[in-house]
Chain A
Amino acid sequence: MISLKFTFFSVFLITILFVLVLFVFVNVKNKFVRLARIVLAVILLVFLLNVRYKELKKLDKVNVCLLVDTSYSMKFNNRITKVNEFMQKNITKLQQLYNLTLYSFDTELYKTTMSSFVYTTAGTKINDVINKLLSELKEPYFVFLFSDGINYAEELPSVKKENLVVIPVVFNEKSFQDVSIYNVRFSKIGFKDIEHEIKVELYSFGYPNRYCKVRLYNLSTNEVLHTSEVLLKDGVVETTLKFVPKSIGKNKFKVEITKLHNEVTYENNSYIFDIEVKKNKIRVLYLCGQPSPEYFHLRSLLKNDPNIDLVSFVILRNPEDIVIVPDEDLALIPFPTYDIFVKELFNYDLVILENFTYVRFGIPLHYLDNLKKFVLSGGGLIMIGGENSFFLGGYKYTPIEDVLPVILSEKEEWVYIDFRPEVVDYKSPFVKIFEDKKENENIWQTVPMLGNYQKVGGVKDDTIVVLKYKNFPIACYSEKGKGRVFALLTNTTWRWCLGNLFQEKYDYKNLYTKFWKKVIYFTSSAEELKNIYILADDNYNTNQQVSLQIISNLKEEVKPEVVVFHPDRTSKFLSVKKISEGKFIANFTPVVEGKYKISAIARVAKKVYTDEKEIYVGDTAIKEIAVLKPNLEYMQKLAEYYDSKTVDLEKLNIESIIKEFKSKISSSEVVSIFEVYRLPWFGIVFIILFLLEIFVVRYKL
């Protein structure tokens, strides 16, 4: 059999060719030239019409393919069992009658010889799978698609072939009843003490006018946060759950709906998700031992920051100071030691001690122990220098000494001298005022001089020094337990504000503001200024690529290692690619659902910097079972697309269906194809004839 391919372009060219051939017969008198041109036209025609020869063979048996959906939704209402029962009953007979091939699929297509199918935990991609199958199969074929029609998209397949008939086999479940969580919409980031909304869409079928309770749980505390009652109808209904987050950090929540009688499954009645609760405001407790310009400026900065809630106490009068007026004439309040160090301490995010000694006010040592516990449990502490700070403030041999980043020495001095602090590392986020490296260096090299500093005994091993003068730290920090401690060994940074007066190129007040804000946000853990951290979403579907971004603030060029710990406790190192300075990417595709832990590790000499992140994989199964009612509409559309019809599994008779549609497809299969236009000598003959024709015409032979 000869086949030709007609396209608009080829027909257009053929028409031109025809006109040219006519022209040949009108104007050319040389017989050879005429002949040559006719042969050339024929060869061109063969090329243009893709002429091929097909060898056909009459089929002894009709080709039949059984394509079975084994996605997770087939588990319910015994769908997969019903398919298996059908197979058991008919498979032998079908194998005798037809050339039978078996395939199963979920999101992928699998060829199988087994006639017994098992459901998987994956979702469904009917359209992709049919496209793949139809491209693979040799025509003619009857494809019987056994599926509930629950697909990840409403999209139809794009591949359609003349001699392929697709017949959707459906499940007609008349007594279907189910209520499921169809969708949960929420912001993954919430703020402490600010009401957070979670919108829950429920899908129900078979429970019209029934009430159903929807509960929101905090999985960490097992506390019910909100309950809402919803009137069900066939289809989707929405309800909103609200709660006020009380603790910061990542919290696991669960939305659960009441289990109703005779539901197909209860698996789709709950949904687990994470919300990262951040601080709405940083609550700062500022204790200052003596009124000073540093207090004046820093307090003003904190007061004018809308993200900061400030409670400050400054000691206006020491016990030894003379009182010249009755107490009622003094605007002083008793220093609430107990409230600060016992009752209220853990309600703050950051404590600032400026030139403040506990000794003078009879503060017991165990109150300082509370302050240490506050730091270790995640609180921030800033100690600002002065005659009553560090060793001079009597903090040696107290619990505070353990958490300070500096060494308290008995030789400590409070020195008055004008000096310009030296930046230890310009990459440190605290000193990054400008993005431009040179500008940044210039502003720090011309920064107004400070007027005093605490000559401490050095810094501890885990301390990172930000500013220094000679060999003495001026600003440094370290992480203690879950908290952070910052030491500023001067109390004259206020000079940077007024320094704007004699330098016009740089705004030193801006430097002061940026520096202090970074210190406060970092120390109170309100801003991620970690050395290394992982950025990724919290939830992924199985088989969905997890893209990780690793950000490194380390000054050393270290490529971090990234390890993924799978739910089955196996681990795998990922390949890490650098995309820019301090930015790396890595990715992996989880295939099983569950909790995955990702660790990023950077090693610099003996120091190890790490960050960990947990992600939850398993949305697909939840999405797959969000609506379990067979999607007969989709199956009907498929049937219409392939000019066939849907057949109920219970009434399925493959022989009669094949008989019904046999006339639509050929009964022969293509054994071989001979593509004439691809023969190489065809091209050679064309070129030789063409050259000969030119030669003859040119020399008028």
Chain B
Amino acid sequence: MKKFITLILIFNCSFCFGTDKFVFAQLKYPGNWDPYPHVYLDVLDILTLTTSVKAEKERKIIDVTSDNLKQELAKTPFVIILGDSEVRIPSKSVKILRDYVLNGGTIFIEDTSELYFSKFDSSIRNFLKSAFAEYKLKKTTSDHVLMKSFYLIRNVTGRVAMFPYLEYIEHENRPAIIYSRNNILACWARDRFGKYIYNCVPLGEQQRFNSQKLFLNIIMYSLCGTYKMDKVHQPFIEQKLRYKK
């Protein structure tokens, strides 16, 4: 009995989403919403091994069509949207996602199609246009906070290096929506033997490592905000960048 209670407690604890721990939350929508279902395990492993971040071991899946969308989002400060096909978000959920961002939530969107003109891209842009009409998508530069929130990164890459930037919507002086089109998460995907499934082009493993670091930076950003833009860090970062050159 005692063991049973302990098991229940452990089980309960492992589902305490929305606390002080990082939660890998992914938005489920009608369509190919989950091209890399297991990458979160690797991401969380590396994240907790190399940083002081505490993370929930389970992935949280939030259904965009669910009636409980509000309740789910309210406990999740960071949400990922992945896909390569058209994203269909119900209009009532568009309003909820807008409120979510305006009240402090952060969304990372990744177009995994690796196409210049994809259905995913056009549907996402339509969504952003309808939900955030007053905001403009901006492009990151080399000194953007996402390039230095933990690792110092020079180039924006993913499995491919089609777009040398990330796009973002800024709200209250912080990037609130981050949009990548280089298929960053594909760099994490492994087969059952632990081998990376997708090659990174054109720079291979070096590019993979850079892309993985970039994704960790995005996670760190979701927890620390624009912390690395603070004045106190600038001399150190500039010195390191000079040394790297």
Q: Is A26 an interface residue (CB 8 A)?
A: no
* A501–B150 CB distance below 8 A: no
For B148, the closest partner residue in chain A by CB is A331
Per-residue CB proximity of A279-306 to B under 8 Å, as 1/0?
Answer: 0000000000111111111011001100
B172 contact set on A, CB distance < 8 A: 300, 304
Nearest CB of chain B from residue A316's CB, rounded to whole Å: 6
A299-B224, A328-B240, A497-B104 known; A294-B20 Cβ under 8 A:
yes
Per-residue CB proximity of A302-333 to B under 8 Å, as 1/0?
Answer: 01100000111111111001111101111111
A498 to B97, CA, bound (A): 11
A509 to B22, CA, bound (A): 21
Which residues of chain B (213-245) have a CB below 8 Å from chain A?
A: 213, 220, 222-228, 230, 232-233, 236-237, 240, 243-244
A295 contact set on B, CB distance < 8 A: 223-225
A609 to B227, CA, bound (A): 41
* A322–B20 CB distance below 8 A: no
Q: Is A23 an interface residue (CB 8 A)?
A: no
* B232–A325 CB distance below 8 A: no
Q: Is A395 an interface residue (CB 8 A)?
A: no
For A292, the closest partner residue in chain B by CB is B20
Q: Is B6 an interface residue (CB 8 A)?
A: no
B99 contact set on A, CB distance < 8 A: 500-501
Nearest CB of chain A from residue B42's CB, rounded to whole Å: 13
* B49–A321 CB distance below 8 A: yes
A417 to B15, CA, bound (A): 10
A448 to B104, CA, bound (A): 15
Which residues of chain A (374-393) have a CB below 8 Å from chain B?
A: 386-387
* A501–B20 CB distance below 8 A: no
B100 contact set on A, CB distance < 8 A: 498, 501
A304 to B173, CA, bound (A): 8
Per-residue CB proximity of A490-527 to B under 8 Å, as 1/0?
Answer: 01101101111110000001000000000000000000
A302 to B98, CA, bound (A): 23
B150 contact set on A, CB distance < 8 A: 316, 330-332
Q: Is A452 an interface residue (CB 8 A)?
A: yes
A498-B104, A501-B100, A502-B71 known; A316-B16 Cβ under 8 A:
no
Nearest CB of chain A from residue B50's CB, rounded to whole Å: 5
A321 to B47, CA, bound (A): 10
Q: Is B160 an interface residue (CB 8 A)?
A: no
- Which residue among B49, B222, B227 has the maximum number of chain A CB atoms within 10 Å of its CB? B227
Which residues of chain B (6-29) have a CB below 8 Å from chain A?
A: 13, 16, 18-22
Q: Is B125 an interface residue (CB 8 A)?
A: no
Q: Is A620 an interface residue (CB 8 A)?
A: no
Which residues of chain A (650-684) have a CB below 8 Å from chain B?
A: none
Q: Is A588 an interface residue (CB 8 A)?
A: no
* A494–B223 CB distance below 8 A: no
Per-residue CB proximity of B59-84 to A under 8 Å, as 1/0?
Answer: 00000000000110111111000000
B51 in complex: contacting residue of A304, A316, A448, A491, CB < 8 Å: A316
* B224–A316 CB distance below 8 A: yes
A300 to B226, CA, bound (A): 8
A615 to B52, CA, bound (A): 54
For B224, the closest partner residue in chain A by CB is A291
A641 contact set on B, CB distance < 8 A: none
Q: Is B53 an interface residue (CB 8 A)?
A: yes
* B51–A329 CB distance below 8 A: no
Q: Is A646 an interface residue (CB 8 A)?
A: no
* A290–B54 CB distance below 8 A: yes
A416-B13, A497-B104 known; A303-B151 Cβ under 8 A:
no
B88 contact set on A, CB distance < 8 A: none
B52 in complex: contacting residue of A293, A317, A491, CB < 8 Å: A317
* A498–B223 CB distance below 8 A: no
Q: Is B190 an interface residue (CB 8 A)?
A: no
For A297, the closest partner residue in chain B by CB is B104
A291-B52, A316-B150, A451-B16 known; A498-B227 Cβ under 8 A:
no
* B236–A293 CB distance below 8 A: no
Could you pull out 25 A-B pairs where Cβ atoms are within 8 angstroms? A289-B52, A291-B224, A292-B54, A310-B230, A312-B227, A315-B52, A316-B224, A317-B51, A322-B49, A324-B50, A329-B240, A330-B152, A331-B148, A451-B18, A451-B20, A452-B16, A491-B19, A494-B77, A498-B74, A498-B103, A498-B104, A500-B103, A501-B100, A501-B103, A509-B104
For A354, the closest partner residue in chain B by CB is B20
B240 in complex: contacting residue of A323, A324, A331, CB < 8 Å: A331
* A311–B103 CB distance below 8 A: no
B224 contact set on A, CB distance < 8 A: 291, 295-296, 299, 314, 316
B75 in complex: contacting residue of A299, A332, A416, A495, CB < 8 Å: A495
B207 contact set on A, CB distance < 8 A: none
For A334, the closest partner residue in chain B by CB is B236
- Which residue among B51, B76, B104 has the maximum number of chain A CB atoms within 10 Å of its CB? B104
